[in-house]
Amino acid sequence: MAKHKKQPRPKAVTPKGFRDYFGAEVTRRADMLARIARIYHRYGFDALETSGVETVEALGKFLPDVDRPNEGVFAWEEDGDWLALRYDMTAPLARVAAQYRNDLPSPYRRYAMGPVWRNEKPGPGRFRQFYQCDADTVGSASMAADAEICAMLSDVFEELGLGGDYIIRVNNRKVLNGVMEVAGIGGPEHEAERGIVLRAIDKLDRLGEDGVRALLGEGRKDDSGDFTKGAGLDDEQAGVVMGFMGALGADGAATLANLDRLVADSEVGREGVDELRQIADLLAAQGYGPDRIVIDPSVVRGLGYYTGPVYEAELTFEVTDEKGRPRQFGSVAGGGRYDDLVKRFTGQEVPATGVSIGVDRLLAALTMKGRFDDAEDGPVVVTVMDKSRLAAYQAMVSDLRKADIRAELYLGNPKNFGNQLKYCDKRGAPFAIIQGEDEAARGVVQIKDLKLGARLASELSHEEWRDQPAQFECRLEDMVSEIKARLG
Amino acid sequence: MAKHKKQPRPKAVTPKGFRDYFGAEVTRRADMLARIARIYHRYGFDALETSGVETVEALGKFLPDVDRPNEGVFAWEEDGDWLALRYDMTAPLARVAAQYRNDLPSPYRRYAMGPVWRNEKPGPGRFRQFYQCDADTVGSASMAADAEICAMLSDVFEELGLGGDYIIRVNNRKVLNGVMEVAGIGGPEHEAERGIVLRAIDKLDRLGEDGVRALLGEGRKDDSGDFTKGAGLDDEQAGVVMGFMGALGADGAATLANLDRLVADSEVGREGVDELRQIADLLAAQGYGPDRIVIDPSVVRGLGYYTGPVYEAELTFEVTDEKGRPRQFGSVAGGGRYDDLVKRFTGQEVPATGVSIGVDRLLAALTMKGRFDDAEDGPVVVTVMDKSRLAAYQAMVSDLRKADIRAELYLGNPKNFGNQLKYCDKRGAPFAIIQGEDEAARGVVQIKDLKLGARLASELSHEEWRDQPAQFECRLEDMVSEIKARLG
């Protein structure tokens, strides 16, 4: 070794934009995903796990004539082929649906859960690897497929203990297309205007009604003074588009009647309203009322991307934003219908609809709502007073584990007993077991109740605390049952 | 769109060496890993999930002075930094143990489960992405840490229903080091010979005793005529080394006594035997007999890599190899002690020990042993006889799902009823529900028992089959209970 030139030591850091997950961060997510998977499975959806790596060609979305794929994905050349990490679950589904089209059932219901990678500038809470949890139905044009996704999403929230705290809103791109026709920008010569309208309404949340109305008209100057050219609609035209987003009525029937009136003169518009009506009827037949799933034309997110029904799930409970103001928790899932999934590969149009759950946001919501068992998860720690009796201590640990109690033998250097107690503290151990020579001779152990000890120490004066030490002695053969009883 | 130049369609293929996993392939693995995680957790191991991407610098194992990292990993340059997909779970653990060394408990028990990537030539059953499932203890020099890993591994096999079908063998690198000293190749001037000896005994499985003995001596000519130079040991020296691998006695005490005699003249050798004795004592104290965990010097795999105890888990039930001969299923997990984990980063030696389970092999073993519930997993399919009654069919599906029965509405084009039954077949549906106008008017449904139907069709003549159609009628309100009873 001494012959080698001295190398600088490598830095022990996660790459920029990536992070590590420890303990409960991992297991809570796994638990949540397992519960979601059970619902998906009950609905007939089959698991699909593709690998993290795809060919750039299959992923698509790259400029064909540049040497280096553009930003957004992690890609590299391998023996002349470009490979890349998947950036979502939909692109691999498209590849699978095309590759196995003769073997898969049709329609094909599938779910997928796992990490995806984005080569984007990381920001606070924005990482370059994160989880997605998708469910899609490929090969069905039926509105029952869309209604089913919404019902399933509702069941997921109920299963996760969020009943009463969520709402799923449904809208339809075809109704918007009808609205554009009625507003006089339906023809192929108005593609540019329609593009501006789509981008404008997608900003409703951010810009508010006035901002969107400005973009529908002449244009809008933002706070920095930059001017964004508008779609050039006159007030009447813009009013039709704004009427669409404001068409929510007192109940589903009223909303649908509003939309009926709005797009009466457009075939595609009427088709869209009819699709919404079918979805509403299918959901009503299953008992999903408007308190859980509602037809709501103000859902505009994704309208530019999807081709038919669009749905978005919001959590409605209140949180405090970074400025201390109360606001609703907001969106945790979204999806809709898209018909070009497999076409890139096969030339055939295959209808598909699906939803993606934002795993990290949903997990954050469950944590805020206290939906995780916060009972002590730390192990019972058997300390080492007498190194020569290691086998006896190990047997105690083994007995605890056999009773399904999380337990550890202290495996560090036992010389300094204070370090052993510090370790217990770091581990969140509810109990420490102590047995010295004297206790061993008498066939007993000392059980230190560390949670009680910490509470007493903070609540009582030193004198009182001394009189109520959170430590007691019990016979070795009673140790497991004593601990079990106290863990509850 | 018509303006764009026509691009050739992308190929819908998985990249070479990668594969897709469908349905039960995904859920069985997930179930198995969840059960393993429960055992790991009970032992006090905490989950750790690092991202798939690491800096090449942190991963190490690359030549420092070449532009392109060498083969073995998938790596790419990103804004001047080299990133790579992790090739195992140990390198990220080393990085984490160094990065968070002031925050993690010490000793730190952690488990990690997930995919790893190898840029290797793919072969039959060898893929470039596969799962690993590791448990390691960092920061403990105690043999109790090694014994614990073995006990935990034993518990995992018992939990998975493999009791009686496995054996965990334990050996120790230090004993081999002692054997080399006794054989006269202990000094620094014999490093080359020791290297040859290590490589030779690592090939015991493949070359047999004679092959290894040849490599310990002058060398060995293989079937292709290629000559591999040996370590140049004389018969007596080689006999010492061979004696090590053959030191298994009638019981643990006899084995340890054999080893004691073999390395009596070597301090490190005696230390190694003492470590094995400690492990044996700790396991005996917990009730793990030699039918589950055994001291066995014939375990040579990994001796070159590890620095102390080495362990390997084998499944002992018989399978048939590709040539039709019976053989034991073989190794599914291995590990040992390594003390240089964090040293690359911090300069400090940190003792560590751990095990890695071969997830795919263990899954294959469980499948062979019929350890998975092969009960029908296909959904009950509610067919669509009358498109106008979709909401009623959907309500039936909803009722089945509410009773936790996996169920689907047929979402394809309902025109051809034969296609609906073909779909049921492809889905492995146990039952199909049929309700036409007549049944709807009478408030009944037809239930087609597809499994019974298939069995009858294969067992009975056409005439008998006609008289016993596996289809029956029941009242709509009894549908759920009828299905539930028949699903068992």
DSSP letters, B21-84, are EETHHHHHHHHHHHHHHHHHHHTTPEEEE--SEEEHHHH--S-TT-SS--TBS-EEEETTEEEE
Would the pLDDT of A2 be above 50?
Answer: no
**Pairwise CB contact (< 8 Å): B407 & A42:** yes
Contacts of A406 in chain B (CB under 8 A): 41-44
- In the 3-class helix/strand/coil scheme, how is B117-164 assigned residue by residue? ECECCCECCECCEEEEEEEEEECCCCHHHHHHHHHHHHHHHHHCCCCC
* Of B51, B96, B105, Cβ closest to residue A426: B105
| C-alpha distances out from residue B213 to A41, A401, B258, B259, Å | 56, 45, 20, 19
Across the range A238-264, mean pLDDT stands at: 93
What is the tens place of the pLDDT at every residue in B37-62? Answer: 999 999 999 999 999 999 998 988 64
Mean pLDDT over B411-419 rounds to 94
- What's the mean pLDDT when you consider all of chain B? 91
The pLDDT assigned to B421 comes to 93
Nearest residue, CB atoms, B129 vs list A25, A53, A78: A53
Q: How many angstroms separate the CA atoms of B454 and B212, rounded?
A: 57
Shortest Cα–Cα distance, B360 to chain A (Å): 14
Whether residues B54 and A137 touch (CB distance < 8 A) is answered with: no
- Find how far residue A4's CA is from the centre of its chain: 48
* B333 touches B340 (CB < 8 A): no
pLDDT (0 to 100) of residue A465: 55
What's the rounded mean pLDDT across residues A96-116?
Answer: 97
Q: What's the confidence (pLDDT) of residue A467?
A: 56
Give A320-360 pLDDT, tens digit per residue: 888 888 999 999 999 999 988 889 899 999 999 999 999 99
Contacts of A106 in chain B (CB under 8 A): 412, 423
Does the pLDDT value for residue A122 go beyond 90?
A: no
Average pLDDT over residues A177-181: 95
Contacts with A64 from chain B: Cβ below 8 Å: 7
Cis peptide before B10 (omega within 30 of 0): no
> Residue A453's pLDDT is what?
80
B60/A10 touch (CB, cutoff 8 Å), yes or no: yes
pLDDT at B123: 82
- Model confidence over B114-128: pLDDT tens digits? 999 999 888 887 899
pLDDT band, very low/low/confident/very high, at B453 (cuts 50, 70, 90): confident
Which residues of A belong to the annotated binding site?
A: 88-90, 118, 132, 136, 301, 305-306
Structural domain spans, chain B: 24-368, 380-487
Spatial distance between the Cα atoms of B364 and B360, rounded to a whole number of angstroms: 6
Q: A10 and B344: CB-CB below 8 Å?
A: yes
What pLDDT, on the 0 to 100 scale, is given for residue A289?
94
Cβ distance of A281 and B12 shorter than 8 Å: no
User: Which residues on chain B are in Cβ contact (under 8 Å) with A128?
Assistant: 51, 53
Separation between Cα atoms, residue A143 and residue A146, nearest integer Å:
5
- Lowest model confidence (mean pLDDT) among A70-84, A266-280, A390-404, B429-443: A70-84
Task: Please compute, for residue B382, the number of CA atoms within 13 A of its CA located in the half-sphere on the CB side.
Answer: 30
Q: Tokens 């990290």 correspond to what residue?
A: A360
A285: CB partners within 8 A, 6+ apart: B391, B392, B394, B395, B398
In this predicted structure, the answer to whether residue B223 has a pLDDT above a threshold of 80 is yes
Per-residue confidence at A302, pLDDT binned at 50, 70, 90? Answer: confident
Best CATH choice for the domain B24-368 from the list 3.20.20.70, 3.40.50.920, 2.60.200.20, 3.30.930.10: 3.30.930.10
pLDDT band (50, 70, 90) for residue A287: very high
Q: Annotation-wise, does B255 bind a ligand?
A: no
Say which residue, B136 or A488, is predicted with more confidence.
B136
The yes-or-no verdict on residue A460 having pLDDT over 50 is yes
A239 Cα to chain B: minimum distance (Å): 31
Q: Which of A12, A347, A395 sits opposite B345 (nearest CB)?
A: A12
* Distance, CA of B56 to CA of B71 (rounded, Å): 12
What's the pLDDT score for residue B61? 63
Band of pLDDT at residue A224, cut at 50, 70 and 90? confident
Q: B211 to each of A117, A255, B204, B217, B222, how far by Cα in Å?
A: 48, 83, 8, 10, 9
Interchain CB distance below 8 Å, B49 and A281: no
User: What is the mean predicted confidence (pLDDT) over B62-69?
Assistant: 43
pLDDT at B24 over 60: yes
Residue of A nearest to B13 (CA): A99
Q: For residue A452, what pLDDT is reported?
A: 83
Cβ-Cβ contacts under 8 Å for B42 (sequence gap 6 or more):
A401, A404, A405, A406, A407
Among A42, A123, A56, A112, which residue's Cα sits nearest to residue A85?
A56
Q: For a pLDDT cut of 70, what percent of chain A falls above it?
A: 94
> In the 8-state DSSP scheme, what is residue B478?
G
| B contacts of A144 (beta carbons < 8 Å) | 390, 394, 409, 411
> Rounded to a whole number, what is the distance in Å from the CA of A92 to chain B's nearest CA?
9
Roughly what angle, to the nearest 10 degrees, separates helices B267-285 and B252-262?
170
- Assess whether pLDDT exceeds 50 at residue A389: yes
Q: How far apart are CA B96 and CA B34, in angstroms?
A: 23
- CB atoms B115 and A43 under 8 Å: no
B9 contacts in A (CB within 8 Å)? 344-347
Distance, in Å, from the CA atom of A361 to the CA atom of A127, rounded to the nearest integer, reads 13
B353 has binding-site annotation: no
* Whether the Cβ atoms of residue B427 and residue B379 lie closer than 8 Å to each other: yes
Q: What is the pLDDT of residues B289-318, one digit of tens each?
A: 999 999 999 888 888 889 999 999 999 999
A416 Cβ partners below 8 Å, 6+ apart? Answer: none
> Any idea which architecture A380-487 has in CATH?
3-Layer(aba) Sandwich (3.40)
Mean pLDDT value across residues A458-487 = 82
Q: C-alpha distances in angstroms, B371 versus A83, B39, B130, B160, B175?
A: 37, 18, 22, 8, 38
Taking contacts as CB-CB distances below 8 angstroms, the residues of chain A near B278 are 390
Q: Contact B83/A137, CB-based, under 8 Å? A: no
What pLDDT is stored for residue B4 in this prediction?
A: 54
User: Are residues B43 and A408, on separate chains, in Cβ contact within 8 Å?
Assistant: yes
Is B90 annotated to bind ligand?
yes
Which of A25, A106, A398 is nearest residue B412 as measured by Cβ atoms?
A106
Contact B47 A64 (CB under 8 A): no
pLDDT score of A375: 58
Give A94's strand partners: none
Whole-number pLDDT of residue B62? 47
How far is the C-alpha of A105 from the C-alpha of A103, rounded, in Å? 7
Chain B residue numbers with beta carbons less than 8 Å from the beta carbon of A413 are 141
**Could A427 and B105 be called an inter-chain contact, meaning their C-beta atoms sit closer than 8 Å?**
yes
Per residue in A54-95, pLDDT (tens digit) is 999 898 764 333 444 456 899 999 888 899 999 999 999 999
Query: How far, in Å, CA of B156 to CA of B112, rounded?
Result: 15
pLDDT at B377: 81
pLDDT tens-place string over residues B336-392: 999 888 898 999 999 999 999 999 999 999 999 888 876 558 999 999 999 999 999
Q: What is the mean pLDDT of residues A233-245?
A: 92
Q: Which helix (H) or strand (E) holds B276?
A: helix B267-285
> Which of A136-145, A289-298, B293-302, B351-360 comes out lowest in average pLDDT?
B293-302
Determine what percent of chain B is predicted with pLDDT higher than 90. 76
- Give pLDDT, residue B469: 67
Of the residues B1, B156, B346, B398, the best mutation for testing chain A's interface (the one with the most A CB atoms within 10 Å of its CB) is: B398
Contact B9 A37 (CB under 8 A): no
Residue contacts between A and B (CB atoms, under 8 Å): 290
| Strand order from edge to edge, sheet including A46-49 | A293-295, A166-172, A309-320, A326-338, A352-358, A129-138, A108-117, A46-49, B21-22
Q: What is the mean pLDDT of chain A?
A: 91
Q: Which residue out of A19, A28, A41, A51 would a mutagenesis test of the B interface target, given it has the greatest number of B Cβ atoms within 10 Å?
A: A51
| Secondary element (H or E) of residue A437 | helix A437-442
The tokens of A181 are what?
Answer: 């026709």
Query: CA-to-CA distance for A389 and A393, rounded, in angstroms?
Result: 7
Which residues on chain B are in Cβ contact (under 8 Å) with A22?
Answer: 46-48
By DSSP bridging, strand B166-172 and strand B129-138 are unpaired
Is the per-residue pLDDT at B64 higher than 50? Answer: no
The neighbouring-strand residues paired with A473 are: A446
- Inter-chain CB proximity B51 and A76 less than 8 Å: no
pLDDT computed for residue A454 by the predictor: 79
Please indicate whether residue A180 or residue B370 has the higher confidence score (pLDDT).
A180
Task: Give the residue from chain B lying closest to A428, CA to CA.
Answer: B105
Which of the residues A411, A425, A431 would you substitute to probe the B interface, choosing the one with the greatest number of B C-beta atoms within 10 Å? A411
What are the φ/ψ torsions at residue B285 (nearest 5 degrees)? -65, -25
Distance CA B329, CA B317 (A): 6
What's the gap in Å between the CA of B96 and the closest CA on chain A?
A: 7
Residues of chain A neighbouring B341 (CB-CB closer than 8 A): none
Nearest-Cα distance to chain B for A122, in Å, is 14
